[in-house]
Amino acid sequence: MIDIAETLRSLVAEHALALLFLNVLLEQAGLPIPAYPSLVVAGTLTVVRGDIPVALVFTLAVLACVVADTAWFFAGRRHGSWLMRGVCRVSLSPDSCIRKSTHFYRQIGPRVLLVAKFLPGAGALTTLMAGTAGTSLTRFVLFDAAGSAIWVASALMMGILFEDAVGALLALLAAYVVPGFIAILACFAAFLAWKWARRMQVVRRSHRVPRLRVQELKAMQSQGVPHVVVDVRPDLTGSEASIPGAIRLGLDAGPRELAALPADASVIVYCDCPSEVSAAYLAERIRAAGRPQVYALLGGISAWADDAPGDAVAQPARAA
């Protein structure tokens, strides 16, 4: 009978560097396969075994980061907005995915690449933003390589400094490798289930806000019905298209900004996120501020762009 634990130990021992490179590459490519713990363990093994140069581990890990990030960078140059929506659509928090991941890049620029890998879920999206924003390849690679080096070095240093603690944990895992692996998978599955349940709760709450179709909005415009269109998207690059005449309000808009909206006009809020969750969130706040005729635009800016002729899509919305 095959000893599963011994087989796993042999596989890791014989192909440790290749598995580490693959682990880092896949995580930076966007898969939920944490690589930081592997790097910590690798740092400990460079001390315990003595036959694995820490410089080699460092170089391979940084190379894996740069390879995956560069692929995202070029993908961002060609299909930035479409990929951003696609990546966030499979996120457990797609409504805040774009907003949070692009906030730092919008405020700091490519320097955010120095710390992006320490921000959960921001790595791939930040490199996408670098390509979408037109950052030069040389500038991107310099900042990305530096950020990758900082991230990898911090993990390896933790493994070296806490060698005894990591070694004890590894010994425990070696003794109970199969039950431990199952326990880790169970915890991960429970975490995903919890996040998904919270996500569904937010989506169900957003459905309380009525939706308005693009055709209905156009009918209001053509008939002169008093209305105001609100753009709740983050200002990604300063050149994002918007609905003509829209004003921009953030999700954290204060009571004074909400009260400044016309009292005798319908308010239509739109975003660029799945299920119009961000738009529904702001619409709910506007309704609570005393504006009963508030809607979320069904399909957001994508539905408008699909239905509108070329001259009906304006450049950035003005701030409120």
Query: Tens digits of per-residue pLDDT, 8-39?
Result: 445 445 667 888 899 899 888 877 778 888 89
Closest CA to 279 of 253, 300, 262, 308: 300
Burial of residue 292 (number of CB atoms within 10 Å: 0-12, 13-18, 19+): exposed
pLDDT of residue 59: 95
Q: What is the pLDDT of residues 214-227, one digit of tens each?
A: 999 999 999 989 99
Question: Mean pLDDT, to the nearest integer, of 197-223?
Answer: 84
| Tokens describing residue 138 | 């040389």
Q: What gap in Å lies between CA 156 and CA 38, rounded to an integer? A: 9
Q: What is the pLDDT of residues 95-113, one digit of tens each?
A: 555 555 566 677 778 888 9
Specify the pLDDT at position 284. 86
- 305 versus 315: which is more confidently predicted? 305
Average pLDDT over residues 49-55: 80
Neighbours of 6 (CB within 10 A): 10
Confidence of residue 319 (pLDDT cuts 50, 70, 90): low
pLDDT of 48 over the 50 cut: yes
Sign of torsion over alpha carbons 293, 294, 298, 299: positive
pLDDT of the residue at 6: 47
- DSSP letter at 172 equals H
Q: For residues 28 and 69, is the Cβ–Cβ distance under 8 A?
A: yes
What average pLDDT does this structure show over 275-292?
83
Distance between CA 73 and CA 129 in Å, rounded? 8
The neighbouring-strand residues paired with 268 are 229, 295
Q: For all residues of the chain together, what is the average pLDDT?
A: 78
- Least reliable range by pLDDT among 47-61, 66-80, 247-261, 301-315: 301-315
| pLDDT at position 149 | 96
Q: What is the average per-residue pLDDT within 203-230?
A: 88
Residue 271 pLDDT exceeds 60: yes
pLDDT-based confidence at residue 4 (cuts at 50, 70, 90): very low
pLDDT at residue 146 in the model: 96
When pLDDT is cut at 50, 70 and 90, the band that residue 135 belongs to is: confident
pLDDT at 305 over 90: no
Q: How many residues does the chain have?
A: 320
Q: Is the pTM of this model over 0.85?
A: no
What is the share, in percent, of the chain residues with pLDDT greater than 70?
75
pLDDT at 5 over 70: no
Q: Is residue 287's pLDDT more than 80?
A: yes
pLDDT confidence bin for 143, thresholds 50/70/90: very high
Would you place residue 86 in the very low, low, confident or very high pLDDT band (cuts 50, 70, 90)?
Answer: low
